[in-house]
Amino acid sequence: MPSETDCQKYWDASDWLSPVAILEQWCQGDRDCWKAKSLALVSACERGEINYERSDGKTFEDPVLELFRRQLLLIERASFEAWVIKIEGSNPLNSPTRPPAVSKLTARPAWLDRGDSVAVAQPVSQPVPEPAIETATDAGKDDQATATAKVAPRDNNVLPSVSSQALTEAFRKRSDSYKNRQWWQERLGNPGRYDGLMEARASKGQPNRGGTRVASTWHLATIAKWLINKNHMSRERVINVIEIHFPAHDSLIDSI
Protein backbone atom coordinates (compact mmCIF):
# COMPACT_ATOMS: atom_id res chain seq x y z
CA MET A 1 0.00 0.00 0.00
CA PRO A 2 1.49 3.38 -0.94
CA SER A 3 2.69 5.78 1.69
CA GLU A 4 3.15 9.53 1.64
CA THR A 5 1.35 9.91 -1.71
CA ASP A 6 -1.75 11.74 -2.88
CA CYS A 7 -3.64 8.43 -2.61
CA GLN A 8 -2.78 7.82 1.05
CA LYS A 9 -5.84 9.71 2.34
CA TYR A 10 -8.07 7.38 0.34
CA TRP A 11 -6.37 4.28 1.72
CA ASP A 12 -6.86 5.75 5.19
CA ALA A 13 -10.57 6.21 4.44
CA SER A 14 -11.08 2.58 3.37
CA ASP A 15 -12.88 0.29 5.82
CA TRP A 16 -11.97 -2.77 3.73
CA LEU A 17 -8.56 -3.65 2.31
CA SER A 18 -7.19 -6.42 0.16
CA PRO A 19 -4.54 -8.68 1.74
CA VAL A 20 -2.04 -7.46 -0.88
CA ALA A 21 -2.54 -3.83 0.20
CA ILE A 22 -2.02 -4.80 3.85
CA LEU A 23 1.02 -7.00 3.20
CA GLU A 24 2.76 -4.45 0.98
CA GLN A 25 2.59 -1.90 3.81
CA TRP A 26 3.28 -4.44 6.56
CA CYS A 27 6.23 -6.28 4.98
CA GLN A 28 7.87 -3.55 2.88
CA GLY A 29 8.91 -6.00 0.16
CA ASP A 30 10.41 -8.65 2.47
CA ARG A 31 9.54 -12.00 0.84
CA ASP A 32 9.92 -14.17 3.95
CA CYS A 33 7.86 -11.69 5.97
CA TRP A 34 5.15 -11.71 3.29
CA LYS A 35 4.92 -15.50 3.33
CA ALA A 36 4.74 -15.81 7.13
CA LYS A 37 2.33 -12.94 7.70
CA SER A 38 0.00 -13.94 4.87
CA LEU A 39 -0.51 -17.34 6.53
CA ALA A 40 -0.97 -15.67 9.93
CA LEU A 41 -3.56 -13.35 8.37
CA VAL A 42 -5.46 -16.30 6.86
CA SER A 43 -5.33 -18.20 10.16
CA ALA A 44 -6.71 -15.22 12.10
CA CYS A 45 -9.60 -14.95 9.62
CA GLU A 46 -10.32 -18.68 9.98
CA ARG A 47 -10.40 -18.34 13.78
CA GLY A 48 -12.77 -15.36 13.59
CA GLU A 49 -10.21 -12.92 15.03
CA ILE A 50 -10.31 -10.80 11.87
CA ASN A 51 -13.51 -10.04 9.98
CA TYR A 52 -13.53 -10.45 6.22
CA GLU A 53 -15.75 -10.51 3.16
CA ARG A 54 -15.67 -11.88 -0.35
CA SER A 55 -15.10 -9.31 -3.07
CA ASP A 56 -17.45 -11.17 -5.44
CA GLY A 57 -20.45 -10.81 -3.12
CA LYS A 58 -21.16 -14.54 -2.89
CA THR A 59 -21.98 -16.41 0.33
CA PHE A 60 -19.24 -17.77 2.58
CA GLU A 61 -18.77 -21.38 1.55
CA ASP A 62 -15.10 -21.42 0.54
CA PRO A 63 -12.20 -21.70 3.02
CA VAL A 64 -10.34 -18.46 3.66
CA LEU A 65 -7.15 -19.82 2.11
CA GLU A 66 -9.00 -20.50 -1.13
CA LEU A 67 -10.42 -16.96 -1.14
CA PHE A 68 -6.91 -15.62 -0.49
CA ARG A 69 -5.42 -17.67 -3.33
CA ARG A 70 -8.14 -16.50 -5.73
CA GLN A 71 -7.71 -12.88 -4.57
CA LEU A 72 -11.35 -12.66 -3.48
CA LEU A 73 -10.60 -11.81 0.14
CA LEU A 74 -11.34 -8.40 1.68
CA ILE A 75 -10.11 -7.66 5.21
CA GLU A 76 -11.96 -5.38 7.60
CA ARG A 77 -9.42 -2.76 8.63
CA ALA A 78 -10.71 -2.23 12.20
CA SER A 79 -10.57 -5.90 13.22
CA PHE A 80 -7.19 -6.34 11.52
CA GLU A 81 -5.74 -3.37 13.38
CA ALA A 82 -7.11 -4.63 16.71
CA TRP A 83 -5.60 -8.06 16.05
CA VAL A 84 -2.18 -6.85 14.90
CA ILE A 85 -1.83 -4.33 17.76
CA LYS A 86 -2.27 -7.20 20.24
CA ILE A 87 0.66 -8.99 18.58
CA GLU A 88 3.03 -6.14 17.69
CA GLY A 89 1.90 -3.33 19.95
CA SER A 90 1.53 -0.93 17.01
CA ASN A 91 -0.43 -0.47 13.81
CA PRO A 92 1.66 -1.17 10.67
CA LEU A 93 -0.87 0.66 8.49
CA ASN A 94 0.00 4.00 10.11
CA SER A 95 -3.58 5.19 10.09
CA PRO A 96 -6.06 6.23 12.80
CA THR A 97 -8.05 3.36 14.31
CA ARG A 98 -11.73 3.26 13.49
CA PRO A 99 -14.95 1.51 14.55
CA PRO A 100 -15.85 -1.80 12.86
CA ALA A 101 -17.22 -1.52 9.34
CA VAL A 102 -20.87 -2.26 8.63
CA SER A 103 -21.15 -5.42 6.57
CA LYS A 104 -24.15 -6.89 4.79
CA LEU A 105 -22.49 -10.30 4.93
CA THR A 106 -21.44 -12.33 7.93
CA ALA A 107 -17.70 -12.24 8.35
CA ARG A 108 -17.59 -15.73 9.77
CA PRO A 109 -18.13 -18.80 7.54
CA ALA A 110 -21.24 -20.79 8.40
CA TRP A 111 -19.32 -24.06 8.42
CA LEU A 112 -17.25 -22.83 11.37
CA ASP A 113 -20.43 -22.93 13.48
CA ARG A 114 -21.50 -26.39 12.35
CA GLY A 115 -18.85 -28.15 14.39
CA ASP A 116 -16.75 -29.01 11.36
CA SER A 117 -13.07 -29.62 11.88
CA VAL A 118 -11.21 -26.50 10.80
CA ALA A 119 -7.58 -26.11 9.89
CA VAL A 120 -5.74 -23.77 7.60
CA ALA A 121 -4.87 -25.88 4.61
CA GLN A 122 -1.41 -25.76 3.16
CA PRO A 123 -1.15 -25.08 -0.58
CA VAL A 124 -1.49 -28.26 -2.58
CA SER A 125 1.85 -29.22 -4.02
CA GLN A 126 1.94 -30.08 -7.69
CA PRO A 127 3.82 -33.26 -8.55
CA VAL A 128 7.26 -32.76 -10.01
CA PRO A 129 8.14 -35.46 -12.55
CA GLU A 130 11.39 -37.33 -12.50
CA PRO A 131 14.09 -35.86 -14.76
CA ALA A 132 13.76 -36.96 -18.38
CA ILE A 133 15.61 -40.13 -19.30
CA GLU A 134 17.25 -40.47 -22.69
CA THR A 135 17.92 -44.05 -23.85
CA ALA A 136 19.60 -45.49 -26.91
CA THR A 137 16.41 -46.67 -28.60
CA ASP A 138 18.06 -47.07 -32.01
CA ALA A 139 20.94 -49.19 -30.77
CA GLY A 140 21.22 -52.88 -31.67
CA LYS A 141 20.22 -55.59 -29.20
CA ASP A 142 23.78 -56.10 -27.97
CA ASP A 143 24.29 -52.35 -27.57
CA GLN A 144 20.99 -51.95 -25.70
CA ALA A 145 22.14 -54.32 -23.01
CA THR A 146 25.06 -52.05 -22.19
CA ALA A 147 23.57 -48.65 -23.09
CA THR A 148 23.87 -46.07 -20.31
CA ALA A 149 20.84 -43.91 -19.56
CA LYS A 150 21.56 -40.20 -19.72
CA VAL A 151 19.81 -37.90 -17.29
CA ALA A 152 18.83 -34.64 -18.92
CA PRO A 153 20.04 -31.55 -17.05
CA ARG A 154 17.28 -29.85 -15.10
CA ASP A 155 16.32 -26.26 -15.73
CA ASN A 156 13.31 -24.11 -15.02
CA ASN A 157 11.41 -25.31 -18.09
CA VAL A 158 11.76 -28.98 -17.06
CA LEU A 159 9.26 -28.23 -14.30
CA PRO A 160 5.66 -29.09 -15.24
CA SER A 161 4.04 -26.55 -17.52
CA VAL A 162 0.86 -24.91 -16.26
CA SER A 163 -2.51 -24.41 -17.92
CA SER A 164 -3.95 -21.16 -19.21
CA GLN A 165 -6.69 -21.38 -16.58
CA ALA A 166 -4.16 -21.79 -13.75
CA LEU A 167 -2.27 -18.68 -14.91
CA THR A 168 -5.46 -16.67 -15.26
CA GLU A 169 -6.70 -17.52 -11.78
CA ALA A 170 -3.33 -17.05 -10.05
CA PHE A 171 -1.90 -13.93 -11.73
CA ARG A 172 -4.96 -11.68 -11.57
CA LYS A 173 -4.61 -8.50 -13.60
CA ARG A 174 -8.16 -7.28 -12.97
CA SER A 175 -10.24 -7.51 -9.79
CA ASP A 176 -13.32 -8.34 -11.86
CA SER A 177 -13.14 -12.03 -12.85
CA TYR A 178 -14.66 -11.51 -16.30
CA LYS A 179 -12.30 -8.65 -17.17
CA ASN A 180 -9.37 -10.63 -15.80
CA ARG A 181 -10.20 -13.57 -18.07
CA GLN A 182 -10.52 -11.19 -21.03
CA TRP A 183 -7.08 -9.69 -20.32
CA TRP A 184 -5.42 -13.09 -20.25
CA GLN A 185 -7.40 -14.60 -23.14
CA GLU A 186 -6.32 -11.78 -25.43
CA ARG A 187 -2.65 -12.43 -24.66
CA LEU A 188 -2.56 -16.21 -24.28
CA GLY A 189 -4.78 -16.59 -27.33
CA ASN A 190 -2.48 -14.37 -29.44
CA PRO A 191 1.02 -14.76 -27.93
CA GLY A 192 2.73 -13.74 -31.19
CA ARG A 193 1.35 -10.22 -30.78
CA TYR A 194 3.09 -9.73 -27.45
CA ASP A 195 6.87 -9.55 -27.39
CA GLY A 196 8.42 -12.41 -25.41
CA LEU A 197 5.18 -14.30 -24.77
CA MET A 198 5.44 -16.86 -27.58
CA GLU A 199 8.55 -18.33 -25.94
CA ALA A 200 6.52 -19.06 -22.82
CA ARG A 201 4.15 -21.49 -24.56
CA ALA A 202 5.06 -25.10 -23.79
CA SER A 203 2.31 -26.71 -25.88
CA LYS A 204 -0.35 -25.32 -28.19
CA GLY A 205 -3.99 -26.15 -27.53
CA GLN A 206 -5.51 -28.59 -30.00
CA PRO A 207 -9.01 -30.00 -30.54
CA ASN A 208 -9.29 -33.66 -29.61
CA ARG A 209 -11.44 -36.34 -31.20
CA GLY A 210 -14.34 -35.65 -28.85
CA GLY A 211 -14.71 -32.13 -30.19
CA THR A 212 -13.43 -30.40 -27.05
CA ARG A 213 -10.16 -28.52 -26.98
CA VAL A 214 -7.01 -29.49 -25.16
CA ALA A 215 -5.79 -26.27 -23.55
CA SER A 216 -2.37 -24.75 -24.14
CA THR A 217 0.24 -25.04 -21.41
CA TRP A 218 2.91 -22.54 -20.43
CA HIS A 219 6.38 -22.39 -18.90
CA LEU A 220 5.86 -20.68 -15.54
CA ALA A 221 9.39 -19.26 -15.34
CA THR A 222 9.04 -17.52 -18.70
CA ILE A 223 5.57 -16.19 -17.84
CA ALA A 224 6.89 -14.82 -14.54
CA LYS A 225 9.79 -13.02 -16.23
CA TRP A 226 7.47 -11.66 -18.95
CA LEU A 227 5.06 -10.20 -16.37
CA ILE A 228 7.94 -8.51 -14.55
CA ASN A 229 9.87 -7.30 -17.62
CA LYS A 230 6.73 -5.84 -19.22
CA ASN A 231 5.79 -4.10 -15.96
CA HIS A 232 2.54 -5.99 -15.65
CA MET A 233 3.36 -7.04 -12.06
CA SER A 234 6.05 -6.34 -9.49
CA ARG A 235 8.64 -9.01 -8.79
CA GLU A 236 7.44 -9.26 -5.18
CA ARG A 237 3.86 -9.94 -6.27
CA VAL A 238 4.95 -12.54 -8.85
CA ILE A 239 7.03 -14.35 -6.22
CA ASN A 240 4.12 -14.29 -3.78
CA VAL A 241 1.79 -15.82 -6.38
CA ILE A 242 4.29 -18.59 -7.16
CA GLU A 243 4.77 -19.42 -3.48
CA ILE A 244 1.02 -19.64 -2.85
CA HIS A 245 -0.33 -21.09 -6.10
CA PHE A 246 2.65 -23.03 -7.49
CA PRO A 247 4.72 -24.22 -4.51
CA ALA A 248 6.28 -27.05 -6.53
CA HIS A 249 7.92 -24.39 -8.73
CA ASP A 250 9.51 -22.36 -5.93
CA SER A 251 12.99 -23.41 -7.11
CA LEU A 252 12.67 -20.95 -10.00
CA ILE A 253 12.18 -17.92 -7.74
CA ASP A 254 15.87 -17.06 -7.54
CA SER A 255 16.08 -16.94 -11.35
CA ILE A 256 13.39 -14.32 -11.89
Same domain, 96 and 167: no
Show Cβ contacts of residue 241 under 8 Å, excluding neighbours closer than 6 positions. Answer: 170, 171, 233
Beta bridge partners of 76: 16
Q: Are residues 160 and 107 in the same domain?
A: no
Q: Is residue 168 part of a domain?
A: yes
Exposure of 86 by Cβ count < 10 A (0-12 exposed, 13-18 middle, 19+ buried)? exposed
Q: Are residues 14 and 106 in the same domain?
A: yes
User: How far is C-alpha 82 from the geometric centre of its chain's CA atoms?
Assistant: 27
User: Hey, is 36 helix, strand or coil?
Assistant: helix
Give the residue among 161, 182, 132 at the shortest CA–CA distance from 224.
Answer: 161
Identify the DSSP state of 228: H
- Domain end call among 80, 113, 146: 113
What is the pLDDT, as a whole number, of residue 254?
Answer: 87
Rounded CA-CA distance 183/132 in Å is 34
Q: What is the mean pLDDT of residues 131-156?
A: 40
Task: Dump pLDDT digits (tens) for 29-38.
Answer: 888 888 899 9
Among 113, 140, 174, residue at a domain's last position = 113
Least confident of 68-77, 202-211, 244-253: 202-211
Listed range (75-79, 119-123, 125-129) with the worst mean pLDDT? 119-123
Whether 205 and 198 have beta carbons less than 8 Å apart is answered as no
Last residue of a domain, one of 50, 85, 113: 113
CA atoms within 13 A on the CB side of 150: 7
SS3 95: coil
Q: φ and ψ at 177, to 5 degrees?
A: -60, -40
What is the pTM (predicted TM-score) of this model?
Answer: 0.43
Split into its structural domains, the chain has a count of 2
Residue 186 lies in a domain: yes
Residue 218 lies in a domain: yes
Residue 131 lies in a domain: no
65-120: per-residue pLDDT in tens? Answer: 888 888 888 999 899 999 999 998 888 887 665 555 544 444 444 444 444 443 44
- Enclosing domain of residue 216: 156-255
